[in-house]
Structure 1
Amino acid sequence: MREWCRTAFVIGVAVLVPVLSTAGQQDADRTVAGGGITAPGWQGAVDSQAASQGKSVKDSKFEQKGDTFHLTIGPAAVYWNPKNTASGDYTVKATFTEAKMTSGHPHPMGLFIGGSRMGTPEQSLIYCTAYRDGSYIVRRFNGSNVTQVARKTPNPAVKKAASADESVTQEVAWIVKPDKAECQINGTTVASFDKAELVGPGKLESTDGVYGIRVSHNMDVTVSNLKLTK
């Protein structure tokens, strides 16, 4: 798309710019009143694009009620407790429930692992997330660079919501072994990677590190049963 724009700029710009502007207006980050993180020990960081627009985790709510986290999200973000670290062989899992679709199209929710330099411009992590339309996606963050490790892909293991107003629950897990890391959704492996694909220059420093929650923008989500097992 960008290459085409360079070669056909004069013809296309008058049409393209309004289309992009309209799309952005349709799904802009909302601002949640009374936002901020109140769950003890937890921190968060919005995506670099949202941060460049002056957004922060204060534009969303991240609360804890008992053992359940309640997220009312404006800009897309990651949330973590620095005490939550994993190393070696491990499994991290949690249960995610989206009450209903709060924007014009589905957005994903799930877990990240391998977090390092969290909350800094050099933040690094990989996440696996599930959509309410029965798809999943895997991405890696290295500072402001975003790498699509596995494209958005339909999979029968990922539950579909019956309608935009219906809730959907997904169990998301990362299973890290000596030579592999797997994302499981609802007990089924949907993506498996050799560690060499994930770790190295320009990638993760290690699959060891902080683990936590990844949510896209404009979502209402609860997260329960977040746990690490060895």
Structure 2
Amino acid sequence: MRIPMLFVAVLATATSLTAQEQAALPSGWQARADRANAPMQNVKFVPMGDGYHVTLGPSVILYNPAQRAEGAYRAQASFTQTRAPAHPEAYGLLVGGQNLDAPNQDYLYFLVRGDGKFLVKHRAGAETHTLVDWTEHAAITRADAAGKATHALAIEATSEGVRFLVN
């Protein structure tokens, strides 16, 4: 199995940032909003400790085209939601990304949210295909009273299939 690109995503989704807005991203990283007219000035993505701190206004994908995997691989990341959002917000991983800066974008994504649910979808151009709709699962930690939740997510790809793992 050959997976052309591997990316970490925050929120499911996908208009690339202008050159001026790109300066706010870590070196090599790019962002794409779900809606073409989304206000990207609220997107904050900065290094913090051994990871990144992300604050979003619109739904976006964040990716680094240099991050690639072929054959069997495991993509993983830990996410901490620090406070309660106004409505259920999702975050997670995307893999198999192709043409992420073009109208014919293509990728698979795995998201969780603070209400204990997960989602798996495929995006092909402007269309999304639901593989697993929002589903509650005991492995997904519900956010506490302050809205804090931490999740370790992974996607494992092998010649036998793809596995989605939480915590």
TM over 0.5: yes
Shift of 1:55: 1.8
| TM-score (ref. length: structure 1) | 0.60
Shift of 1:125: 0.4
Structure 2 contact 42–55 (Cα < 8 Å) conserved: no
Shift of 1:56: 5.3
SS in structure 2 at match of 1:94: strand
2:74 pairs, out of 86, 91, 106, with 91
As a proportion of its length, which structure holds more helix? 1
| TM-score (ref. length: structure 2) | 0.82
C-alpha spacing 1:143/1:56, structure 2 compared with 1 (3 Å)? farther
Q: Please tell me whether residue 182 in structure 1 is matched to residue 163 in structure 2.
A: yes
C-alpha spacing 1:140/1:179, structure 2 compared with 1 (3 Å)? same
Structure 2 contact 112–119 (Cα < 8 Å) conserved: yes
Query: In the alignment, which residue of structure 2 is the partner of 1:160?
Result: 142
- Tell me the distance in 1 between the aligned counterparts of 2:83 and 2:48: 20
Shift of 1:58: 3.6
Q: Give 2:25's aligned amino acid.
A: T
Superimposed CA distance per residue, residues 2-57 of structure 1 (whole angstroms, 9 cap, x where no aligned partner): xxxxxxxxxxxxxxxxxxxxxxxxxxxxxxxxx7532111001011xx21xx2254
Q: Give 1:41's aligned amino acid.
A: G
Structure 1 unaligned blocks of 5 or more: 1-34, 187-230
Query: In the alignment, which residue of structure 1 is the partner of 2:115?
Result: 133
- Tell me the distance in 1 between the aligned counterparts of 2:91 and 2:136: 15
Q: Give 2:100's aligned amino acid.
A: M
2:88 pairs, out of 83, 106, 121, with 106
- Tell me the distance in 2 between the aligned counterparts of 1:160 and 1:65: 24
Aligned length: 146
Query: In the alignment, which residue of structure 1 is the partner of 2:33?
Result: 46
Q: Kindly, what percent of the aligned residue pairs are identical?
A: 27
Q: Give 1:125's aligned amino acid.
A: Y
- Tell me the distance in 2 between the aligned counterparts of 1:81 and 1:45: 11
SS in structure 2 at match of 1:85: coil
Q: Please tell me whether residue 117 in structure 1 is matched to residue 99 in structure 2.
A: yes
Q: Give 1:76's aligned amino acid.
A: S
Shift of 1:140: 1.0
